Structure 1
């Protein structure tokens, strides 16, 4: 009984080994199969080109032992090539639940706008329901970001300790929120300064006229030193005022602020071409490059062009949508 079990076990292992052998392919037009691993042994069969073989023993340096239909034989390794086993079809990954879908839907309904409270101690509720729990209050004039405006009666807002709902009747829209730049200094694009040579040409013409006048004054003054000196003084004073008026570049320094309810509250001029701006609507600060063209200061934020008229050394006047008066601190 023990011998029978051992024989059965040996046959099982042999069968598994054979099934695990690699697959080879014939390269020759007609490959001879010999009885032993000897090139002069008896030919017991032949295999056509591109036919697959099952190799039972690859230990010999020159021959493979292969399995035939009803027997075994040996073939030269020179005319056989190994082929890769067929790849198993990849199992498609199980569909994962789309966890990001609620967030996408939430973003789709978000208005991304900034609103201001118009009521004193505006109640912030846990749900879009006038009877739900009150989770906080908003003071009058407080700016909040609305993240969902799909409800007909309530806005979902972002507050310090989370989110909540407030009645639409007590919020008024003031400006879009600039996402990802709040309270982060940014560097805006640099305005292109236009080259204008009109003033230089005018100054040169005036200079030539004054030199001509000085020449004729000296020539026809008949040695009158008083007349010559007076002419020189007049010419120098005129040249100086022409220079500071038409040639000398204007410079703005210091911080200019406005008490009006406008978007840009302060402009702090740090150097000859850099200014820091406070944006009240988004509660942020950004730095921009600026240029001065005549009496006009031009600078950019990420979306708008800001124009400021230089009234005098202490006052700037906002033009366009940033209309207002800014005085030097």
Structure 2
């Protein structure tokens, strides 16, 4: 009798374990992953729409524990739909918290090169056919130089940021204080703390990391930054 009860208990635990490790698909645009099953817990990342994720614990009907890259977190069950039972050993290629990866963009350099060639052509024909009209040559030369400088500043010159940028919206990262060329101090309103990290600028995008999270900020102009993803918000320079 005791042996039968032991076998029954073992089978029950195995059944619960298998059912807890089901595969689900994300329905939300970007599903926040939190440190605990508290809706006010710190957001540690997100999973994009239509990605599959393995659920490790579904005992809480509102929040499921999921497996993500190098970590585990909690997500709202409302934005998940079950698609299959997961295999006993998940493969290493499971969809995880996404780190946005920007490819090198050469479109600005190409456009600047085209403008430069066209400008040189205009100057050549201007000097060749209007050499006697010095006033017109001067005007054309000034216009060509102005267009060239504008294109250089817009498409070629490396972007820089400095100073303190604050957001008035309810976002996790309340402010970014750029201390030097590659060092920024960030205020985390959810954790009620600040941390300092390195950053780099890729085109119009500022990239910095906080543990496993990648924070992206778009440079609108020298006084305004736009947060992307779970850092969404407008940051104005003070």
**Matched residues in 1 for 2:192 and 2:237: separation?**
21
**Matched residues in 2 for 1:328 and 1:222: separation?**
49
Note the residue ranges of structure 1 that are not aligned, 5 or more in a row: 1-111, 116-171, 178-190
TM-score where L is the length of structure 2: 0.55
Residue 290 (1) aligns with residue 211 (2): no
TM-score where L is the length of structure 1: 0.41
Would the aligned equivalents of 1:317 and 1:323 in 2 still touch at CA under 8 Å?
yes
Aligned to 1:174: 41
**Matched residues in 2 for 1:222 and 1:295: separation?**
42
Would the aligned equivalents of 1:114 and 1:175 in 2 still touch at CA under 8 Å?
no
Aligned to 2:6: none
1:218, distance to aligned residue in structure 2 (A): 0.8
**Matched residues in 2 for 1:238 and 1:286: separation?**
42
Would the aligned equivalents of 2:209 and 2:215 in 1 still touch at CA under 8 Å?
yes
- Per-residue CA deviation, residues 165-221 of structure 1 (Å, 9 max, x unaligned), is xxxxxxx632279xxxxxxxxxxxxx9885433322322221121111111111111
Give the counterpart of 2:172 among 253, 263, 269.
Answer: 263
SS in 1 for 2:186: strand
Would the aligned equivalents of 1:193 and 1:291 in 2 still touch at CA under 8 Å?
no
Question: RMSD of the alignment, in Å?
Answer: 2.6
- Per-residue CA deviation, residues 38-59 of structure 1 (Å, 9 max, x unaligned), is xxxxxxxxxxxxxxxxxxxxxx
Residue 309 (1) aligns with residue 176 (2): no
1:290, distance to aligned residue in structure 2 (A): 1.8
**Matched residues in 1 for 2:228 and 2:177: separation?**
17
**Matched residues in 2 for 1:225 and 1:215: separation?**
14
Would the aligned equivalents of 1:276 and 1:287 in 2 still touch at CA under 8 Å?
yes
Q: Which of structures 1 and 2 has the bigger CA Rg?
A: 1
Would the aligned equivalents of 1:254 and 1:268 in 2 still touch at CA under 8 Å?
yes
SS in 1 for 2:137: helix
- Pairing of 1:216-227 with structure 2 (within 5 A): 216-227=125-136
SS in 1 for 2:40: strand
- Pairing of 1:1-329 with structure 2 (within 5 A): 113=36, 173-175=40-42, 195-329=104-238
1:295, distance to aligned residue in structure 2 (A): 2.4
- Per-residue CA deviation, residues 53-72 of structure 1 (Å, 9 max, x unaligned), is xxxxxxxxxxxxxxxxxxxx
SS in 2 for 1:229: helix
The number of aligned residues is 149
By relative contact order (CA 8 Å, sep 6+), the higher-ranking structure is: 2
SS in 1 for 2:180: coil
Aligned to 2:26: none
Would the aligned equivalents of 2:131 and 2:137 in 1 still touch at CA under 8 Å?
no
**Matched residues in 1 for 2:217 and 2:192: separation?**
21
Would the aligned equivalents of 1:310 and 1:317 in 2 still touch at CA under 8 Å?
yes
